[in-house]
Amino acid sequence: MRLLKVATCNLNNWAMDFDCNMKNIQVSISKAKEAGAMIRLGPELEITGYGCEDHFLELDTVSHAWECLKELLLGDWTDDILCSFGMPVIKGSERYNCQILCLNRKILMIRPKIWLANDGNYRELRWFTAWKQRCLEDFQLPSDVSEALTQTVVPFGYGYIQFSDTAVAAEVCEELFVPSPPHGELALNGVEVFMNASGSHHQLRKLDLRMRAFVSATHTRGGVYIYSNLQGCDGGRLYFDGCSCVVVNGDLVAQGSQFSLKDVEMVFAEIDLDVVASLRTSTSSFQEQASCKPKVSAVIVPYKLCKSFNLRRSLSSPLKIRYHSPEEEISLGPACWLWDYLRRSGASGFLLPLSGGADSSSVAAIVGSMCQLVVKEIANGDEQVKADAMRIGHYTDGQLPVDSKEFARRIFYTVFMGSENSSEATKYRAKLLADEVGSWHLNINIDGVVSSMISLFQTLTGKRPRYKVDGGSNIENLGLQNIQARVRMVLAFMLASLLPWVHNKPGFYLVLGSSNVDEALRGYLTKYDCSSADINPIGSISKTDLRTFLRWAATHLGYSSLAEIEAAPPTAELEPIRSNYSQLDEVDMGMTYDELSVYGRMRKIFRCGPVSMFKNLCYKWGTILTPKEVGDKVKHFFKYYSINRHKMTVLTPSYHAESYSPEDNRFDLRQFLYNVKWPYQFRKIDELVDELNGDHVAITKSTCQETDTVDGDGGGMGVVAAGAGNPKAGL
């Protein structure tokens, strides 16, 4: 027997926070060593964080990655354990997304990514070059790394490592999913262990696609497939959903969590590699293809990874794959994303305009789910979650969160902003849900503010607008609705910034949005109303899924009022209620939420223009609608989709959960959540300043005079103060 213990992990790393990432990496290696693992695999680009985006174009990012790798190699972290680290590497004039395979304080091989993810949420070709050579080349290490490691040149490219007792290769994320994945060819060359470092995001109902790929990779050709993934919000819209796992000959033998608040979660497996050899040598077609395989380059390392037969070592057995229902995914994914955002943003909590409708109630339930997860993890002994919760909730004298409702009251404000158009039913439902979740709740009336604005308009113009039901035009009707919607957001931000002060709490609260993906697709929202919050946990979730979630959460989260909320017809309550008229969302939109989901998927996922959509819907709806009715519906959708597309440019950053999300995020591709202290980078600056001071670098008077005359204003570089000439700069 050739017994091999492997370790993989879910890491909650943060783009550009090298201190955070190094801590998580080192903890994972320590845990792997304690368990006796001989291989430790981490996620893709784990040293820098995956979501650096345009920061990858900065040389600093690559330099800091090498500095961190050097620190890992100079310590005892890689002693007697094969470690694969993800980071960017520049070779010549090209930047590559690489896995650095290290053992015993040496770099064995640098494996650049061959096939880059470049669709949907991924733009790797913007930052990296794909490695196209079928060989290994010499790579000259940076001089400071070379001097520290006494290593000058290392193999770089496509290949594998041949140890004394097995062969190991890397396959990076997207490469698993291409039509001709590298693991097929590598298996024919004798590779038994595949390490896939990944940065894969959560999307509703997506995990089974990933798991099927792991199983199929080794089902017929044999092998051990080790998968590592990021987990958490690393600074953008995506939530990386972990699920690191180990698959042997098509059987899952170890699986990590998909949603978790942990910064480091380890997954271990003990494997007998002889089962791989047995499967391959008993399959005639495999042997025939292996006998005439294209040869792949190898790095020979005379080192044994495996142990011999030992009854004290327990082999991992096949497991049933664990999946969450879509309702559980909505409850857990956005909740974990919100927790990461809250603890890393410096905020003291959330404020939600709670209308008593399905969307805002879904957001309240998700925050409640987050509070339940926090209390549960604290009870399970997670010290990091406890420290973050105590800091955010301002616990003193040894107190800590032990009840989710009590914790919610400390970090969650909800406010019902009613008007003359609001019903008592929605007001009651909002208060009831707030009590169930535990939020600090306010009931306020905005009629006075709205009336003041209308009176100001009348003073300026001599005209007073009326609602449509009172004889006004469509323009008047829409204008009066927009006033209410925008007043609510102004009040929400005022309360979020000042309520902590009122309650003698430090900090500020983040305003949560509650527009769903279907309303964004249709443009059924007002610019700078409740769609313009700080972040939106449901902005990429369909109304249909949210209503299913509400029914589930009424029972499973313990918020029974959600059942009544889900049953109520959706309404904005921006127009007066009359005996013969009540405003309804689907009537206003001219289409149902179910129809919107169909339009969205055809537009984005199946890439249909109006004509293609019409043709497809004729097949789909032809038994209940005439072609003209189908055509009218398609034209109606594209009309309002087009005229409201501009609203996407100001849409609140939303948790990504649906593949037909219309959110606009095109140009400055940097994350929107930073560690504002920049601890690693600022410390490096301080060190450089100290070095310069130590060298007694002096700037002569003549040099200063020369610099002062570079431009006419004496500013040297001509830098303009932030906000100068732009009244909105810095807002």
Q: Which residues of the chain have pLDDT under 70?
A: 572-574, 577-579, 664-674, 676-678, 682, 685, 689, 695-731
Tokens 């005639």: give the residue: 284
Catalytic residue check, 306: no
Catalytic residue check, 44: yes
As a whole number of angstroms, the distance between CA 358 and CA 539 comes to: 13
pLDDT, position 394:
94
Catalytic residue check, 173: yes
pLDDT, position 701:
39
Topology of the domain covering 3-323: Nitrilase/N-carbamoyl-D-aminoacid amidohydrolase (3.60.110)
Q: Which of 52, 98, 173, 306 is catalytic?
A: 173
3-class DSSP state of 59: helix
Q: What confidence tens digit (pLDDT) does each residue in 194-204 have?
A: 999 999 999 99
CA distances to 136, 449, 456, 473 from 460, rounded to whole Å, are 75, 17, 6, 20
pLDDT, position 725:
34
CB atoms inside a 10 Å sphere around CB 635:
12
In the chain, where does the domain assigned CATH 3.40.50.620 lie?
Answer: 327-569
Q: Count Cα atoms within 13 angstroms, Cβ side, for 83.
A: 28
CA distances to 55, 583, 697, 701, 704 from 694, rounded to whole Å, are 31, 72, 8, 20, 21
In the structure encoding, which two tokens stand for residue 391, read together?
Answer: 């800091």
| 11, amino acid identity | L
As a whole number of angstroms, the distance between CA 166 and CA 271 comes to: 12
CB 15 within 8 A of CB 49: yes
pLDDT, position 673:
65
In the structure encoding, which two tokens stand for residue 520, read together?
Answer: 């964004």
As a whole number of angstroms, the distance between CA 167 and CA 728 comes to: 59
Q: Could you say which DSSP state residue 720 is in?
A: P
* Strand-pair category, 412-418 with 349-353: parallel
Q: Which of 198, 228, 355, 531 is catalytic?
A: 355
Topology of the domain covering 327-569: Rossmann fold (3.40.50)
Nearest to 426 by CA among 226, 550, 570, 306: 570
As a whole number of angstroms, the distance between CA 281 and CA 200 comes to: 34
The crossing angle, in degrees rounded to 10, of helices 383-393 and 404-411 is 50
Q: Count Cα atoms within 13 angstroms, Cβ side, for 199.
A: 32
Q: What is the pTM of this model?
A: 0.86
> 3-class secondary structure for 552-615?
HHHHHCCCCHHHHHHHCCCCCCCCCCECCECCCHHHHHCCCHHHHHHHHHHHHCCCCCHHHHHH
pLDDT, position 523:
83
In the chain, where does the domain assigned CATH 3.60.110.10 lie?
Answer: 3-323
Tokens 């709670």: give the residue: 354
In the structure encoding, which two tokens stand for residue 353, read together?
Answer: 């305009």
CA distances to 7, 108, 722 from 32, rounded to whole Å, are 6, 19, 48
User: How far, in whole angstroms, is CA 81 from its chain's centroid?
Assistant: 30
pLDDT, position 731:
28
| Burial bucket for residue 434 (CB in 10 Å: 0-12, 13-18, 19+) | buried
Q: Phi/psi zone of residue 107: left (φ > 0), alpha (ψ -120 to 50 degrees), beta?
A: beta
Q: Which of 5, 44, 53, 608 is catalytic?
A: 44
Q: Which of 5, 53, 83, 113 is catalytic?
A: 113
Q: Is the dihedral of CA 693, 697, 703, 709 positive or negative?
A: negative
pLDDT, position 584:
80
As a whole number of angstroms, the distance between CA 40 and CA 209 comes to: 25
CB 665 within 8 A of CB 237: yes
